[in-house]
């Protein structure tokens, strides 16, 4: 988290050196970004989060992230969604009764054929997904290798048999519902023409298959249109009557052609398929899980209000507050589905609305009452993918974070590899969907953003089971490594604040009656302040020792140009400020949130050794140790001025030695987003 390398590459294995990870039962909010088929990486991230025993107080999601967030809200664990060891998944648990055995079963009809054509066209123009080279597998013994190959072969045979059964059943159903058209000479001609055109396209390197219907369109619309147009020129020489007839034919054929193109274009704009089965799947999974935990709702239809009612029962069911983002087409605004605003909306419908990617899926229609801070209004209309307005919703829990500032947020983002030189048109949709994540993670309180780059395409819903296991496994390892790094760094800096407090407390108390005046309830406080998150001109108090919850500056952020920090940062030398002549009511105290009882403040800037060689190409993030106390220096001592200089210089050496010894100088040169 705090190292220069920020992105977690889920398609690369990460070795976790610590055998036993410490648990971290702190409360957190969890936000999950949308990303189509790449959303399966959220399951791996959730698996890592569960290992640290974080107490999830709220979960939010958009698009694919909303599907995982909905399951988490009712108590699903990562292994219940995708179990790497047993090779089971949600479809084997909750979807069998619906006839879904794998993700592609959710979208019936010709969706996959249409989607593959779109993906091939995109690949032809250079916008398609390029597979990431697989990581080298560890060397295995001959016996282990043979065992692994047999397992893969058995798994492939089982999957192929299941797919064949589904295809046979689908084919039989289609044949029973409609009679095959009679084979005519014209039909034979169309089939031969289609094969001929396909042969020509393959010869020129175009991997597109034309059906007989599409060939019919070219023969009956495009070719006559071209021939008639060519004949117009010749007809002009033969008289106005023939010319008028040919022009009329051109107009009629042109009208038919445009109408057919508009009809096809409208179908594409309206979406290739519906997300109705997504709503059914999510509702089925939520109903089953809540029933297992004691909250039974006949007929299903779990709503956001049901989550709240389950928690408030006499025998409560521990559900998690859920918030889902979608795009409201009619009102042209963001729609936030949650317990307070939309208690009567089915969670399955909210998820379906949030996953409606334009052009790929048809907009989802909803009618409900929205409860806002000022009124209740009836909302009806169409909804699209929430990624168009907020793809990484870390902000919906701002109010909860204000009430509980100590609760941090883990935001799981799905990102793509950087490709230099790609055409701007191919980056527009990705920028619209992902470009606002920096804004939407600037939420109240501390937010840890964990970027993931799974080796899957956003539209790769038909990924093999092995690809899914691989993404989940490697993402879990990567996120576990990142969280362990965050936990270790935070613990080390907190220990540093405690050690520095002991050092300065000894300095001050040993000098009482000679260098310091003893006061009632003597206190020495130590704080580590640093540039946090995206800040470049401010320093935040991040780790403290000796502070009380009532102290006004316990979690304060001050400008780097503040008179407290300015000289120490400019000169890279420790500075001490004496406050014994100021009054607690002065504006200086109020503006900078100074502890009213402080009589001096010492600032010790942390200086990196050889910063140019170690931080080449990176900006050095500023941080320092700030110490204050309510025990003033004894000005009656004639040697007090010499002692002040000695105190600052000696303390500075001790501070730098401690941070260098424990390798902490580089620990604040990353994101600094501790939670």
In the 3-class helix/strand/coil scheme, how is 246-294 assigned residue by residue?
A: HHHHHHHHHHHHHHHHHHHHHHHHHCCECCHHHHHHHHHHHHHHHHHCC
Strand partners, 384: 327
Residue tagged active-site, from 63, 455, 477, 540:
63
Whether 321 and 30 have beta carbons less than 8 Å apart is answered as: no
d(CA 615, CA 531): 16
Which is nearest to 416 in space by CA: 399, 396, 397, 435? Answer: 435
Selecting among 24, 385, 553, 671, the annotated active-site residue is 385
286: left (phi over 0), alpha (psi -120 to 50) or beta: alpha
**How far is the C-alpha of 235 from the C-alpha of 250, rounded, in Å?**
13
Residue in the block written with tokens 């001929």: 196
Is residue 663 part of the annotated active site? The answer reads no
**Contact call for residues 64 and 282 (beta carbons, < 8 A):** no
Residue 326, classed as helix, strand or coil, is: strand
Q: DSSP E strands: which ranges in 300-446?
A: 322-328, 333-337, 364-371, 376-384, 408-414
φ, ψ of residue 256 to 5 degrees: the values are -65, -40
Interatomic CA distance for residues 144 and 404, integer angstroms = 52
Q: What is the DSSP string of 330-368?
A: TTTEEEEE-TTT-TTSBHHHHHHHHT--TTTBPPEEEEE
> Which one, of 282, 374, 332, lies nearest residue 69 by Cα?
282
63 is catalytic: yes
Only one residue has tokens 């052609």, namely 257
* Rounded Cα gap, residues 407 and 632, in angstroms: 36
Q: CB of 659 within 8 A of CB of 605?
A: no
What is the rounded distance in angstroms from the CA atom of residue 662 to the CA atom of residue 655? 11
Quickly tell me which residue has 């400019």 as its tokens: 570
CA 622 to chain centre: 28
Phi, psi of 529 (to 5 degrees): -115, 145
Q: How many helices (H) and strands (E) does the chain have?
A: 21, 16
**What backbone phi and psi angles, to 5 degrees, belong to 83?**
-100, 115
* Whole-number Å distance between alpha carbons of 21 and 366: 45
Instruction: Give residue for tokens 């025998």.
Output: 315
Query: Which phi and psi angles does 379 have, rounded to 5°?
Result: -115, 130
- Of 143, 188, 158, 231, the closest CA to residue 464 belongs to 158
Q: Nearest to residue 67, comparing CAs of 387, 471, 450, 441?
A: 387
Quote the tokens at residue 149.
């190959």
Active-site residues, by number, are 63, 385
């Amino acid at each position: 988290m705090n190292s220069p390398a920020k992105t977690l590459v889920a398609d690369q294995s990460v070795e976790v050196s610590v055998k036993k990870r410490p648990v971290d039962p702190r409360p957190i909010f969890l936000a999950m970004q949308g990303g189509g088929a790449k959303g399966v990486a959220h399951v791996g991230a959730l698996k890592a989060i569960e290992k640290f025993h974080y107490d999830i107080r709220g979960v939010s999601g958009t698009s694919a992230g909303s599907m995982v967030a909905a399951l988490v809200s009712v108590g699903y664990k990562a292994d219940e969604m995708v179990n790497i060891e047993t090779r089971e998944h949600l479809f084997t648990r909750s979807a069998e009764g619906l006839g879904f055995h794998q993700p592609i079963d959710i979208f019936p009809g010709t969706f996959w054929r249409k989607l593959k054509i779109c993906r091939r066209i995109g690949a032809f123009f250079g916008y398609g997904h390029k597979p990431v080279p697989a990581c080298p597998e560890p060397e295995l013994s001959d016996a282990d290798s043979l065992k692994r190959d047999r397992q893969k072969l058995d798994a492939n045979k089982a999957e192929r048999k299941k797919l064949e059964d589904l295809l046979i059943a689908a084919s039989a159903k289609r044949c029973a519902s409609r009679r095959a058209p009679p084979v005519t000479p014209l039909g034979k001609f169309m089939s031969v023409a289609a094969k001929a055109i396909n042969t020509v396209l393959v010869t020129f390197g175009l991997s597109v298959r034309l059906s007989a219907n599409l060939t019919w369109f070219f023969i009956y619309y495009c070719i006559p249109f071209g021939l008639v147009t060519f004949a117009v020129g010749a007809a002009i020489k033969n008289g106005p009557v023939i010319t008028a007839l040919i022009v009329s034919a051109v107009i009629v054929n042109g009208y038919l052609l445009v109408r057919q193109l508009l009809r096809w274009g409208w179908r594409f704009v309206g979406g290739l398929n519906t997300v109705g089965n997504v709503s059914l799947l999510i509702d089925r999974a939520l109903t089953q899980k809540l029933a297992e935990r004691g909250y039974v709702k006949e007929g299903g239809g779990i709503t956001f209000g049901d989550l709240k009612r389950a928690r408030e029962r006499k025998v409560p069911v521990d559900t998690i507050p859920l918030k889902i983002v979608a795009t409201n087409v009619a009102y042209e605004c963001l729609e936030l589905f949650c317990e307070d605003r939309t208690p009567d909306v089915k969670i399955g419908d909210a998820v379906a609305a949030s996953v409606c990617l334009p052009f790929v899926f048809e907009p989802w229609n909803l009618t409900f009452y929205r409860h806002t801070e000022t009124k209740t209004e009836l909302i009806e209309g169409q909804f699209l993918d929430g990624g168009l307005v907020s793809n990484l919703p870390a902000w919906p829990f701002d109010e909860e974070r204000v009430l509980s500032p100590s609760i941090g947020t883990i935001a799981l983002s799905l990102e793509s590899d950087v490709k230099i030189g790609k055409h701007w048109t191919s980056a527009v949709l990705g920028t619209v969907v992902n470009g606002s994540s920096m804004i939407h993670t600037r939420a109240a309180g501390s937010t840890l953003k964990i970027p993931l780059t799974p080796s899957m395409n956003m539209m790769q819903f038909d990924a093999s089971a092995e690809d899914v296991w691989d993404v989940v496994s490697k993402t879990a390892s990567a996120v576990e490594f990142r969280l362990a790094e965050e936990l270790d760094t935070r613990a080390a800096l907190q220990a540093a604040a405690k050690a520095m407090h002991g050092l300065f407390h000894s300095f001050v108390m040993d000098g009482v009656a000679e260098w310091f005046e003893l006061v009632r309830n003597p206190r020495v406080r130590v704080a580590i302040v640093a540039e946090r998150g995206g800040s470049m001109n401010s320093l935040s108090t991040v780790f403290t020792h000796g502070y009380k919850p009532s102290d006004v500056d316990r979690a304060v952020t001050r400008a780097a140009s503040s008179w407290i920090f300015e000289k120490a940062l400019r000169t890279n030398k420790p500075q001490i400020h004496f406050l014994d002549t100021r009054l607690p009511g002065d504006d200086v105290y109020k503006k900078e949130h100074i502890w009213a009882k402080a009589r001096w403040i010492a600032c010790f800037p942390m200086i990196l050794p050889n910063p140019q060689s170690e931080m080449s190409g990176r900006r050095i993030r500023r941080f320092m140790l700030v110490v204050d106390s309510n025990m003033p220096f004894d000005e009656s001592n004639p040697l007090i001025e010499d002692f002040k200089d000695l105190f600052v210089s000696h303390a500075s050496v001790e501070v730098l030695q401690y941070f260098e010894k424990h390798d902490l100088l580089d620990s604040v040169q990353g994101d600094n987003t501790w939670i």
